[in-house]
A and B are shown apart, each in its own frame.
Chain A
Amino acid sequence: MHNVDLAVIGGGPAGLAAALAARRNGVDNILIIERDKELGGILQQCIHNGFGLHYFGEELTGPEYAERFIEMVREENIPYKTNTMVLDIQADRTITAVNSREGLLKIRAQAVILAMGCRERTRGAINIPGDRPAGIFTAGCAQRFVNMEGYLPGKKAVILGSGDIGLIMARRLTLEGVEVKMVCELMPYSGGLTRNIVQCLEDFNIPLKLSHTVVNIHGKDRLEGVTIAAVDENLQPIEGSEEYVECDTLLLSVGLIPENELSRGVGIALDPVTSGPVVDETMATSVEGIYACGNVVHVHDLVDYVTRESETAGYHAAEFIKNNNGASGSEVHRTIPGKGVRYIVPQRISNNSLLKGFKIFFRSDKVYVNARIAVRCGRQVLHSVKRQKISPGEMEILDLKPSHLENIEVSSLAENGLTIELEY
């Protein structure tokens, strides 16, 4: 058995930032465990720029953002194992991992940080009828092919889903000479950033078909075409609107889901909306000594916020270790998504949070223009701010300061929880 103070599972931006924050808060014996052959996580395949504007104040590409953190981890001499996959975690924080050099490893940690990121939804998760020929990829898988291995997935592509990864891939494939015929989006709005719609689609005259979906797939060995159709308000295909589009490649960009097999195994409470662990403002999960951060908790659109959130997790995991595994023992309360709010992270807050203040991350259920975000406890409104636009594609952050929280009654908070809602 190998003993460490802190084990970090996943060497993406979340794991790296968490490990660095824990080291800076006095933890010596840290181990980062990464299943890939290098650190950096999914950023290594995101070669476009637009990362780091909030954290570093400059626009970096994904690999540049990753390299800055990998360098810091090396400077701090934080040990890591690559090509090593964690198979299991127990509630007493014993970890089982495997690699080809050492075989099966048992690691006992005082605290664990989960930073396994997310994976993409596949066609199985969305059920398109029709044949099952080659030529259908998730957008992220195609991104890895093109950017890291240098293969093009095909010559003529249709992209289903207008999230940022799909949009970015539309531009990337176009630059590499692939004809991107269209991007179809089931919803009446795009899930991607406006900037990406302009610079990835409009720049290259790629049509964005809102309220459209793929209803059939054609081809025996290789994809030959897809049938698309418009959908009504209930997202059901409208009969008679079908159109055949010839293509040899279909990219699915239909969403990401946090990677939580390990969390489920150890019995961590998961939020059914985010599919990630329920956490408090310190990023502690429901199992003592186990923290979580990054895309494993909820899907982020900006890595900068992943970094900030992970620093919080690293800092508090260090506090837990230094206090000799003493949990804070403070009472916890619920945060409640009110009108217009789909989910909130953290789902729990402690009494301590009222003194220090904390950040609320949330997503709306649809697009709102000129709405007000209100924070209330029962009928008492604690804070409210106006936003010109709130959309599900852009995560909202609310910084609650101790001054917003000083008039709160703990008994009322225990009874009513803290509600975030939109007024429009």
Chain B
Amino acid sequence: MTELVPSPVEPKAIGTALPRVDGVEKVTGRAAYAVEHPVDRPLFAWLVTSTVARGRVVAVDRSEALAHPGVVSVVDHTDAPRLAQTDNGELAILQDDAVGFRGQIVAVVLAESSEAAREGARLVRVEQEAEPFEAELREDNASYRPEKVNPAMETDTDQGDVDTALGTATTVLEQTYRTPYEHNNPLEPHATTAWWSEEDGRERLTLFDSSQGVHGVATALAPMLGIDREQIRVMAPFVGGGFGSKGEAHAHVMAAALAARTTGGRPVRLAVTRQQMFSLTGYRTATISKFRLGTDDDGRLTAIEHRVQEQTSRLREFAEQTASPTRMMYAAPNRRTSHRLAVLDVAVPSWMRAPGEMPGMFAHEVAMDELAEACGLDPVELRRRNDPDVDPEEGLPFDRRGLVECLDRGAERFGWASRPRAPRSTADGEWWVGTGVASATYPAMRQPGNVARVESTDTGFAVSIGAVDIGTGARTALTQIAADALGVGTDDIDLRLGDTALPMASVAGGSSGTSSWGSAIVAAAQQFLADHGDRPDPGLWTEASALRGDEADRFSFHSFGAVFAEVHVHRYTGELRVPRMLGVYSVGRVVNPTTARSQLVGGLVMGMSAALFEESVRDPRFGHVVTQDLATYHVAAHADVAGIEAEWLDESTTTFTPMGSRGIGEIGIVGTAAAVANAAYHATGVRVRDLPLTADAFLE
């Protein structure tokens, strides 16, 4: 394997709207998902989960379940295969009698059919002893300072002297903003097929898993199962969405792997139900953001303070980096951020689209709207005035700071100039009408350790990387990148993904996929051409990894955007509707406008959905989320999505990747809820600082 710094690629296929290369397979139902792959004599698994939030399992009575026709076995903590490592409290299931949250896996039923397994699970009697627990996030929970916040950022930052600056500021804004628990809810629920076999005298575990990163699953499971990474093969040829919830293996994957170890080689199919997803597959923590902002006479920020209170699970720490965007967003000499976590007896939180940026920028951008009003400035102008020359945290110049361009172009396209400054100025029939704006940002990330393989074939090139297309269009975009890097047409590329038998790839997360995998593919393609020339015989191959130069020491890399929303609030019922939204983005070169638009518009829809609907209601008396289906956990329906448009600046950033791209998966959700909240305020004069914005808040 060679490591090299790839040189920029001349875009030909890149930038074109190549239709999804797997579109036909998907719409004709030929694409197989995790529990659809034909396997030999599968057993079906159903999870039995705890009904206390903290305590222990006293006894598991399997007799009724085992007597049920079709049920083959029940695995619980008394007889589940032992794990070699148990420090990951989320994955170390069925190892002892402790219960850490309501909804935790306490037994697995295996049966000849999914129906028998489900009924078997109902018939398992689990006697549990309940202990006192805490499951409510409040402002005054006992909390601690985590060592780092996701993924490995400083927990707190402090520059200058915030308190003194606030003491002398012309305008001071001090407010608290809250976001609720939210669940990712991809279309395809989490699912795994697992079986153990023997090869050359060694155990081997094979999984089809609905995952955002097959290599990550293998890396997480192997040491726990006491086997080498090479003994696990994980495949995810097609995945029906993830939004971060499939970024890491969750407990059900371990449940399938453990259960499959007891079947003498028969494969185990495990599909998580929608209800179980609300306990088992990750979610966004609720957040409480306390903001203090101070400005001088001209509305220039002199102090920014963002203190965050959120929660983690007792079983495993996850610290959402809610204040991280505040560190680089606007200029101000005095700045302080902090994160504190309450430890609750609840399910384990995890990544959900734009962890950190989504809740943090909701708070920051509503605060900016309030500040604009307090300063008597137009909200776009306030942001323009506070646009920094260099990254305020790192002191490095931005490779590209496209925020003001996005704001200006968006303002023009949206018709911002004709907007009345005062709230509650426009009524249209039964509706109050308002418009709002918010900024968006997302860091540009390129993960190390990606390797791609290019092989010449009879028909062109096979290009392999063990990355996963979770529905974003990665397979299509990477085909375009490979074609340009090799100087051939997209038809000549046979792209292979989603398998740990293919070279190492990082997770589809952090909007880093195209940048990370694409750079590796470019490196491998360029090395291949150097090794074998551009008219190679079939059967030659090269594996390579993309190194980065010193650009990360010279520049700060971020994407930016501006979101504009028009909100109508019904004067009688308080109902909110969003007839119009526009997002304008600076995201580097767009590899495929069709799939890119779908990511950006999808992000805008999800942000609007978070603004108006999404809330996982945790009942602190029980400890679990009680709105655990899609009838009670509302996501935007078709009728809620009206005129949503996304566009982007024509740009390229080859200092960051050889393709000139920066990543687009997450930025669409960032700031969007704030734009909606700000527009609702402009419509009605009612300022809501807690998501979601529901009709009752606007009733008159």
Answer yes or no: are A and B bound together in one complex: no
